[in-house]
Chain A
């Protein structure tokens, strides 16, 4: 059974790869054609190529929990960035991304992170193409961020995102900034394959993804956001209507009798708020959302603070203390993993020539016993080289928690990046 499983999955992966590749290729050709036309139609003002190549090793302290998983993995990722700015301030940006992973075929993937043209006018900005947008204020949970799909195979923190096809009109006015989005194509969330670690017991079969919308991934999603800064406050409020980015995972048995999870993407309406206040060395943060269309209507929120100690004992080192609490009305049925959790963390910035930084956090589930520790650190070696070291440990996990499948996945992740 297990032997057949991977075979079937591999075929699926290939067809899925071909399908997504076709979409991406279409997008790429359109954008490149636009880009080239624009390049030849006007005199280049400034164009530049930059980016990075990163070698990564993930070392796991324990044997994998599931038979198919490989213990450790090595991979290489490339993200070049081509940027061109025209005389009038308009610009073209192309950022492809690719990774080759030794263990997980799902983690070996290619994506167009950005491929957009920006028309810049005094009264408005229009961005068209594939882009990336971040909304939110908190450090450990990114609750209200919704435009881009999480590239989950990259990292379980959800901070890596897939490029989102969009037309985005920004109107910066005296009384705040209005953003309108038309999102014509949906990106499916990526999940680790069966050889990959940091996954649930059941593999998510992304080839079998289901949609509530009959248009499937071609459903046109819409979003509008208003944001402003008033004194010590920064805030934004938005409404999103369209395909939910967080799928509901459904059990599915295959013809061979094995069981897998398939993602189902509902049509949702979501209103979100993010706000932050600065008071002296304090930052107070709040994100909250109300979603309808995915099961029962629910509310979720995350709030907290960050306090900075600057230049402690004249050492030049800054220390930030972070405390956050996340709540989700759905309780155990949450799709984010944060139903009632607190996070406590510390950020150390050494302010040295190498820009050495460490961010460490403890996650504790208040409704159960689950807890985990995450550490991210990095420093520059030279103008072109940087090394980062991340660690993740599950301290405890109750059976119903999302961490349970990761309980043997304590790991160390080392990255060496070359910037050009």
Chain B
């Protein structure tokens, strides 16, 4: 109890510091996207921000609204403790050729930090038993290990692979990783009806711009349950790279919404990846021990 209390205090102070950082990043971000002369623009922006600061205490800026939406979505998903699910991943190239992978995913909620996840591959045969362990962190790089069953070897890997493809799919590592609030800055754009549901349209900007493959992600979040329904990914050149549509949501233990299907389409290479989720279970009794480097050797 004492420990988690201390962690929460840490989290609060960290969040306060981080909000300042977010503001700084927003400033640099906006400054970067300008078409005016840089210097004039910065001076103008500084004057404007001086004017805005007192007002923002009264009215919510689009940035604050975006962050508030992300926090609410995160709050609604809190307390699931742990979950397990089966996943069928179908890769499709532009000629329509398909190949599938069978994967199991286990997730552990960590108080005060990002989730831990363990991904186990059952198929194709040559990667059967391969396991991927990820400790998501709210700040800084994630910790990642890979287990290679043929050699019985656990390998620490560099987590700078954010923009790299996950198992040859159109999902990058940063897409499948736990979407922690702190990994992005936010801006509410507009409200819009999508697929018959009232949605917030929120832009997200990766905090780790150096290693992320994206400049921005445009997300449609339904107002009723705060679930992402669609995400558009814009690459480093700010060109539309991919679109993710998320369907067949189902509510578990009266609270947690999980998607049944996800479809990622890459507009630049014509490939797509489908994810079909099944067998979602919560509060299964998994503990830290099941997400240790040691546990990789018996994960299967």
Residues in chain A near residue B17, CB distance under 8 A: none
- A–B pairs, 10, beta carbons within 8 Å: A120-B298, A125-B298, A137-B155, A280-B160, A281-B160, A283-B158, A355-B168, A417-B126, A419-B126, A419-B128
Q: Are B293 and A229 in contact (CB under 8 A)?
A: yes
Q: Which of A7-65 contact B (CB under 8 A)?
A: 50, 52
* A-contact bits for B6-23, CB 8 A (1 contact / 0 none): 000000000000000000
Residues in chain B near residue A215, CB distance under 8 A: none
Q: Is B49 positioned at the interface, with any CB of A under 8 Å from its CB? A: no
Q: Which residue of A122, A134, A280, A380 is within 8 Å of B141 (Cβ)?
A: A280
Q: Is B34 positioned at the interface, with any CB of A under 8 Å from its CB? A: no
Residues in chain A near residue B163, CB distance under 8 A: 310-311
Q: Is B238 positioned at the interface, with any CB of A under 8 Å from its CB? A: no
Shortest beta-carbon distance, B7 to chain A, in Å?
16
Q: Which of B269-300 contact A (CB under 8 A)?
A: 287, 289, 292-295, 298, 300
Shortest beta-carbon distance, A376 to chain B, in Å?
13
Shortest beta-carbon distance, B231 to chain A, in Å?
19
Q: Which residue of B125, B143, B157, B164 is within 8 Å of A311 (Cβ)?
A: B164
Q: Are B125 and A50 in contact (CB under 8 A)?
A: yes
* B-contact bits for A208-242, CB 8 A (1 contact / 0 none): 00000000000000000001010000100000000
Q: Are B294 and A420 in contact (CB under 8 A)?
A: no
Q: Are B156 and A353 in contact (CB under 8 A)?
A: no
Q: Are B151 and A316 in contact (CB under 8 A)?
A: no
Residues in chain B near residue A50, CB distance under 8 A: 125, 128
Q: Are A380 and B124 in contact (CB under 8 A)?
A: yes
Q: Is A133 positioned at the interface, with any CB of B under 8 Å from its CB? A: yes
Q: How large is the interface on B (under 10, 10 to 19, 20 to 34, 35 or more residues)?
A: 35 or more
Q: Are B125 and A118 in contact (CB under 8 A)?
A: no
Q: Is B153 positioned at the interface, with any CB of A under 8 Å from its CB? A: yes
By beta carbon, the residue of chain A nearest B287 is A122
**A172 touching B294 in the complex, CB below 8 Å, given contacts A134-B152, A280-B160, A352-B168:** yes
Q: Is A276 positioned at the interface, with any CB of B under 8 Å from its CB? A: yes
Complex Cα–Cα for A118 and B165 (A): 35
* From A229, A278, A310, residue with most partner B Cβ within 10 Å: A310
By beta carbon, the residue of chain B nearest A159 is B151
Q: Which residue of A134, A159, A318, A380 is within 8 Å of B126 (Cβ)?
A: A380
Complex Cα–Cα for A254 and B186 (A): 81
Residues in chain B near residue A382, CB distance under 8 A: 99, 124
By beta carbon, the residue of chain B nearest A231 is B143
Q: Is A251 positioned at the interface, with any CB of B under 8 Å from its CB? A: no
Q: Which residue of B124, B153, B162, B292 is within 8 Å of A384 (Cβ)?
A: B124
Complex Cα–Cα for A354 and B167 (A): 9
Residues in chain A near residue B298, CB distance under 8 A: 91, 118, 120, 125
Residues in chain A near residue B151, CB distance under 8 A: 134, 159
Residues in chain A near residue B180, CB distance under 8 A: none
Shortest beta-carbon distance, B91 to chain A, in Å?
5
Q: Are B152 and A310 in contact (CB under 8 A)?
A: no
Complex Cα–Cα for A310 and B123 (A): 25
Q: Is A308 positioned at the interface, with any CB of B under 8 Å from its CB? A: yes
Complex Cα–Cα for A159 and B148 (A): 12
B interface with A by C-beta (< 8 Å): 91, 93, 97, 99-100, 123-128, 141, 143, 151-153, 155-165, 167-168, 211, 213, 235-236, 287, 289, 292-295, 298, 300
Q: Which of A117-143 contact B (CB under 8 A)?
A: 118, 120, 122, 125, 132-134, 136-137
Q: Which residue of A85, A351, A384 is within 8 Å of B125 (Cβ)?
A: A384
By beta carbon, the residue of chain A nearest B141 is A280
By beta carbon, the residue of chain A nearest B289 is A172
Q: Which of A316-366 contact B (CB under 8 A)?
A: 316, 318, 351-355
Q: How many residues of A contact B (CB 8 A)?
A: 47
Q: Are A316 and B165 in contact (CB under 8 A)?
A: yes
Shortest beta-carbon distance, A320 to chain B, in Å?
9
Q: Are B213 and A172 in contact (CB under 8 A)?
A: no
Complex Cα–Cα for A234 and B236 (A): 33
Residues in chain B near residue A283, CB distance under 8 A: 156-158
Q: Which residue of A118, A177, A314, A353 is within 8 Å of B168 (Cβ)?
A: A353
Residues in chain A near residue B168, CB distance under 8 A: 351-355
Q: Is A83 positioned at the interface, with any CB of B under 8 Å from its CB? A: yes
Q: Are B235 and A314 in contact (CB under 8 A)?
A: yes
Complex Cα–Cα for A221 and B91 (A): 49
By beta carbon, the residue of chain A nearest B159 is A278
Q: Which residue of A310, A318, A419 is within 8 Å of B124 (Cβ)?
A: A419
Q: Are B158 and A282 in contact (CB under 8 A)?
A: yes
Complex Cα–Cα for A384 and B289 (A): 33
Q: Is A413 positioned at the interface, with any CB of B under 8 Å from its CB? A: no
Residues in chain A near residue B126, CB distance under 8 A: 52, 355, 380, 386, 417, 419
Complex Cα–Cα for A354 and B123 (A): 13
Q: Are B161 and A318 in contact (CB under 8 A)?
A: yes
**A383 touching B141 in the complex, CB below 8 Å, given contacts A122-B289, A310-B160, A355-B127:** no
Complex Cα–Cα for A417 and B168 (A): 20
Residues in chain B near residue A384, CB distance under 8 A: 124-125
Q: Is A170 positioned at the interface, with any CB of B under 8 Å from its CB? A: yes
Residues in chain A near residue B287, CB distance under 8 A: 122
Residues in chain B near residue A134, CB distance under 8 A: 151-153
Complex Cα–Cα for A234 and B293 (A): 10
Residues in chain A near residue B293, CB distance under 8 A: 177, 227, 229, 234
Complex Cα–Cα for A339 and B125 (A): 38
Can you name 17 extra interface pairs (CB under 8 A) apart from A133-B152, A177-B292, A310-B162? A122-B289, A134-B151, A172-B294, A229-B293, A234-B156, A234-B293, A276-B156, A280-B158, A310-B161, A310-B163, A311-B163, A316-B164, A316-B165, A353-B97, A383-B99, A383-B123, A386-B125
Q: Are B158 and A308 in contact (CB under 8 A)?
A: yes
Q: Which residue of B100, B153, B213, B235 is within 8 Å of A383 (Cβ)?
A: B100
Residues in chain A near residue B211, CB distance under 8 A: 310
By beta carbon, the residue of chain A nearest B213 is A311
Complex Cα–Cα for A234 and B144 (A): 11
Residues in chain A near residue B100, CB distance under 8 A: 383
Residues in chain A near residue B165, CB distance under 8 A: 311, 316, 351
Shortest beta-carbon distance, A175 to chain B, in Å?
12
Residues in chain A near residue B289, CB distance under 8 A: 122, 172
Q: Which of A128-172 contact B (CB under 8 A)?
A: 132-134, 136-137, 159, 170, 172
